[in-house]
Structure 1
Amino acid sequence: MAKTNAGNFFEDYTLGQVLEHATPRTVSGGERALYTALYPARHALYSSDKFAQASGLHASPLDDLIAFHTVFGKTVPDISLNAVANLGYAEGRFHVPVWPGDTLRSRSEVIGLKQNSNGKSGVVYVRTEGLNQHGTVVLDYVRWVMVRKGNLDAPAPETTIPELATVVDSEALFVPEGLDFSHYDFGLAGEPHRWGDYEVGEVIDHVDGVTLEEAEHMMATRLWQNTAKVHFDATFRPDGQRLIYGGHIISLARALSFNGLANAQMIAGINAGAHANPAFAGDTVKAWSEVLGKAETGAPGVGALRLRLVATKGSPAGALCGDDGRYLPEVLLDLDYWALMPL
């Protein structure tokens, strides 16, 4: 009897199915160091205990996206081992910070299914929670992924597409307990721009770029224990290329956004997200952001900025879709998120 795991195919999922994902992971300063080595991350709250303590926290937490990638990676063997592509995100919220020494695990519920018209694959919608060692939810989000069918003759399930909010209500965002930007040090943070300096509709070109390297993206994907075959096995795609993990693009774009958004310190929510086009080694990633909205929070000195973060292969800032409404081929990522920053 075979003991290896071939992963789930589209016909293996049922509506309401709950998946408790294996391999909890204790995160440490090692993840922080590797994250900084892989991405040009410089936000001060994640770099300095002293800065974090001056902002009301007991120490510097791990980057929000370290938590996201770790939780996401746990889900891959059960959700996307046989994926064609990860398609999008919605209703993401970061509940509490993740600290060095925390142990993270993941669980997911299947909330939607739709077989594609070609009968060879289908879209699976899941709501995933990441929990720490105390059973506290640290983040949750919805994602949908296109998964191959293993048995093409398997009957199609009844189509169920979940109704998802287009934006996380700002009043539903979680602000870390104690966070206080009343005495925020803009000099140490790297830029003088505060919440009130940004206008809805403003577009910020982050200027810098990073060329993707084969070794780096595979190291990153291994770091998050993401076992999706398309990221490692060059024989798995007809073109013989390893697909860059979409989260790698998210982290690169977020790090690049420091130039112009250095004070957008914490990610509080993910409203929507799409991996618009595939990325491969050799592509050069650039980024721009558009301010979509603003909200105050109940925390002292803390505001929330709703941002559209776009990663591209060099298209100019502001260029997103063609006349047909489709993403331009140069666009890699379209991510709508909430960030916390000083008022």
Structure 2
Amino acid sequence: MNVQSEITKERPMSKTNAGRFFEDYSVGQVIRHAVPRTVSGGERALYHALYPARHALYSSDFFAQSCGLPSSPIDDLAAFHVVFGKTVPDVSLNAVANLGYAEGRWLAPVYPGDTLRSESEVIGLKQNSNGKTGVVWVRTRGINQNDTVVMEYVRWVMVRKRDVDAPAPETVVPELSKVVPVEDLVIPKGLDFTDYDFELAGEPHRWGDYTVGETIDHVDGVTIEEAEHMMATRLWQNTAKVHFDATFRPDGQRLIYGGHVISMARALSFNGLANAQMIVGLNGGAHANPCFSGDTVRAWSEVLDKAETDMSGVGAVRLRLVATKAAGSFELKGEDGKYLPHVLLDLDYWALMPT
């Protein structure tokens, strides 16, 4: 009789990974995420198939070269999704919700042929009062094949505990900047908007045409489809259970990946912000309410700030991008200070625009 075989039949020995739970994190812990990924023009084609993305710098090698770049980079948010997706199995596989972002910077363009990997450092922990979940803060870096850091950002996630009786860790809440200082923004080497072709870009509005406090209705809407969302999460290798497993939530619905909403809203912002070409800073962001298949996403933006840069013809504009399910509504929060139910996303970012 094979005793080991009988034991295995009774209690299979698993080589699989159930993911990290709240008590598995410690401040200062560094996680190297699997699996590196070489990006290609395929990522661009699929990104533009999933979202109505039309910014010229990411659509045309010729246009990018006229702006001083060697060729058209991969869309900034596509690169973000690749880096983010690597972190999910280690950071948010057992998450209840992705709560926010801060201190994000795009440090170098990502081009077809680049290989990206991700690393995260745990910088904060706080157990919730219910004792069943806790918040984990991580600083993630995306690194290419030359060991160049191409982007970095902080995000915080509410994660389930495996054992509700596990002792709470010492609370560490990191102090995070509300805004990435303009001087810390990295302008891609060679970028020059001096000979910028506004006609090919799609709109005549330049940096000087926008006013702080101005609100822009992006007019169009897109209804989220289950099939497209599932394709997107697979494309970015995002394995969070809330996006795949309909039995994971009590309501039986798969939660739409927050990055899918970000990219949809950014693509919709082309109408009114066609010349906000490159995202270079992520000041903050919140997924205000859940998004589900069948919801129609609309977007509006508010100009929060403007700044000059040292590069020829290049200005920086700070924008609040809001994704909403309500057409024509520019209200964010109620009298209680909470986001209104129709608000899906509140994102604060820096973009580069011709002056």
Equivalent residue number for residue 19 of structure 1:
31
* Count of equivalent residues: 343
Q: Which has the larger radius of gyration?
A: 2
Calculate the TM-score normalised by the size of structure 1: 0.99
TM-fit CA distance, 1:325: 1.1
Distance 1:113 1:150 in 2: 16
1:1-343 aligned within 5 A = 1-343=13-355
CA deviations over 1:131-167 (Å, ceiling 9, x no partner) = 0000000000000000000111100001110000000
SS state at 2:45 partner: helix
CA deviations over 1:174-206 (Å, ceiling 9, x no partner) = 000000000100000000000000000000000
Calculate the TM-score normalised by the size of structure 2: 0.96
Residue identity opposite 2:217 in structure 1: D
Distance 2:27 2:74 in 1: 34
Distance 1:208 1:324 in 2: 29
Distance 1:306 1:144 in 2: 22
CA deviations over 1:315-334 (Å, ceiling 9, x no partner) = 53421111111100000000
Q: Which 4+ stretches in 1 moved above 3 angstroms?
A: none
Equivalent residue number for residue 3 of structure 2:
none
Residue identity opposite 2:146 in structure 1: H
Residue identity opposite 1:138 in structure 2: V
Q: Is the 8 A contact 1:204 1:317 kept in 2?
A: no
SS state at 1:22 partner: strand
Distance 1:176 1:38 in 2: 26
Segments of 5+ residues of structure 2 without an aligned counterpart are: 1-12
Distance 1:58 1:114 in 2: 45
SS state at 2:272 partner: helix
Distance 2:183 2:154 in 1: 19
Residue identity opposite 1:2 in structure 2: S
Residue identity opposite 1:240 in structure 2: G
SS state at 2:230 partner: helix
- C-alpha RMSD of matched pairs (Å): 0.6
Residue identity opposite 1:111 in structure 2: I
Identity of aligned residues (%): 79
Distance 1:89 1:298 in 2: 27
Q: Is the 8 A contact 1:90 1:165 kept in 2?
A: yes
Residue identity opposite 1:250 in structure 2: I
SS state at 2:120 partner: strand
Q: Is the 8 A contact 1:315 1:330 kept in 2?
A: no
Segments of 5+ residues of structure 1 without an aligned counterpart are: none
Distance 1:285 1:167 in 2: 26
Q: Is the 8 A contact 1:18 1:110 kept in 2?
A: yes
TM-fit CA distance, 1:2: 1.4
Distance 1:14 1:29 in 2: 38
Residue identity opposite 1:307 in structure 2: L
Distance 1:91 1:318 in 2: 26
SS state at 2:242 partner: helix
Residue identity opposite 2:32 in structure 1: E
Distance 2:76 2:117 in 1: 15
Residue identity opposite 1:30 in structure 2: G
Distance 1:58 1:118 in 2: 53
Equivalent residue number for residue 4 of structure 2:
none
